[in-house]
Structure 1
């Protein structure tokens, strides 16, 4: 029988609601948060429509301020409910949460800065916490691990692509010349990048037969190059297939480490207790 002294503190309970999605309260909090994020993004979009803004400017402004204040309160609560606030403040989501909160305040100083509130779309990444389905969480974890494992190969590949664009751009500058729009090597390299990535803006195009032949080779080469990073990441994901499907949404109240295995009691990173109900027992 637990006495009142052994009950989790309000900070521990609040942490469980805000940072985790294992409880009904946590899931409800995340759903409300995502609805607010989507609503704020819609408000920013509607405000950019001049005719709509002219008619409903005051209502849009008030609504945006209400959401901004709610996000500000949420940010403060996230900071005070963990033992090491810097872990959250300087984390990916901590920075995104701050950047998505301050635009409205900055609008007092910088006109139009409130439009940066569209950054709140990045906060929708938390949808994986609500969709607490093993295959979704596992897939996202495997993707992160695969990207980290393949970053060296991808960097080498990108370095090779940059060199290739420099060489091809220089060649096209020599072949086509200024009269055909290739006025400098940097501009020619820009054309090579656009062509190699199969974007093809069409603002610069080769006119000589030899230049068109080189362009054709670059276009075909572009399709092959696009597939290489995909193959690298896919290979790494295959290596980690099925290795991390048993993680839950628990977040350590001390260091904010996540990706804990189901039924974990202690944090794998710092050893702190994960479940408030197990604390002080």
Structure 2
């Protein structure tokens, strides 16, 4: 391929990349806002189509609108792939998988009927609003919450195992005390009742009738309040600790007070899909690829 043709192709792909991936440019922001509006319309159409009266009366209109939106998403998905140097970086990324899942359902209706309701998964694409509006603080808080949950996971698993053991023991006792006459026809059914009672859901399909059974049910219900509080306390403690560490680190207040601190934008590397580049950066901080569009 001649060099001139290669340059034109590269410039064309760069322009597409700027429009689709960059939220800091006017064109990029306009595209993302348009995309969000289309996503919202698509989700509303799926919701309205599920209403029997509307679905029967405007069936053809709903199908036409869904296909127009699906074609729009398909073109967008293809352009996202061809505008970056390493397509797999996008295809297997979080947003790439969400974009694929939000596009494919309507095509699957050719093989599986009634699956177009899965188009509601497009609501997940509204997560892009964080990037468009540059709400970096909320993204940071989400990261802190994610880290707190990961740090709390071993403690929560131990706690859940203890709850399971309690449910098995108390369910077995309730089976012996109440018996099939009260609805406790087997130990698994009794364990189900115990878990429902511990979690304070209380479907009411099974209830103890003997004084001893009601006494045990009272104890289980009181324990339920503590069971709700424990995992919440574990995650809250980890979140608070993580918040203090973040505030004391170089990524916290010290960075904001530093006059040399440089703002991080939403620019995405065309080569490796890396984010969080500084405003005056000319090359990707991860792979060194030129960021000049």
TM-score bracket for this pair, using the shorter chain length? 0.7 to 0.9
Q: Which residue of 1 aligns with 2:273?
A: 256
Give TM-score scaled by structure 1 length. Answer: 0.85
RMSD over equivalenced CA pairs, Å: 2.6
1:19-67 deviations in Å (ceiling 9; x for gaps): 3422222222222222111111111111111211221111111000001
Structure of higher RCO (CA pairs closer than 8 Å, 6+ residues apart): 1
Name the count of aligned residue pairs.
272
Distance 1:181 1:248 in 2: 61
Distance 1:263 1:276 in 2: 10
Pair 109,227 (structure 1): closer, same or farther in 2 beyond 3 Å: same
Whether contact under 8 Å (1:13, 1:276) holds in the other structure is no
Q: Which residue of 2 aligns with 1:85?
A: 87
Distance 2:152 2:276 in 1: 20
Higher deviation after alignment, 28-37 or 250-259 = 250-259
1:65-119 deviations in Å (ceiling 9; x for gaps): 0011111111112222222222222222222221111111111111100011111
**Secondary structure of 2:58's match?**
helix
1:100-143 deviations in Å (ceiling 9; x for gaps): 11111111111100011111112222221123134222212222
Pair 140,252 (structure 1): closer, same or farther in 2 beyond 3 Å: farther
Give TM-score scaled by structure 2 length. Answer: 0.82
Q: Which residue of 1 aligns with 2:289?
A: 273
Whether contact under 8 Å (2:172, 2:187) holds in the other structure is yes
What does 1:1-281 correspond to in 2, within 5 Å? 9-241=11-243, 242=247, 248-259=265-276, 266-268=283-285, 270-273=286-289, 275-277=291-293
- Whose radius of gyration is greater, 1 or 2? 2
Distance 2:218 2:158 in 1: 25
Structure 2's unaligned 5+ residue stretches are 1-6, 253-262
Pair 167,31 (structure 1): closer, same or farther in 2 beyond 3 Å: farther
Distance 2:219 2:277 in 1: 49
Distance 1:120 1:165 in 2: 38
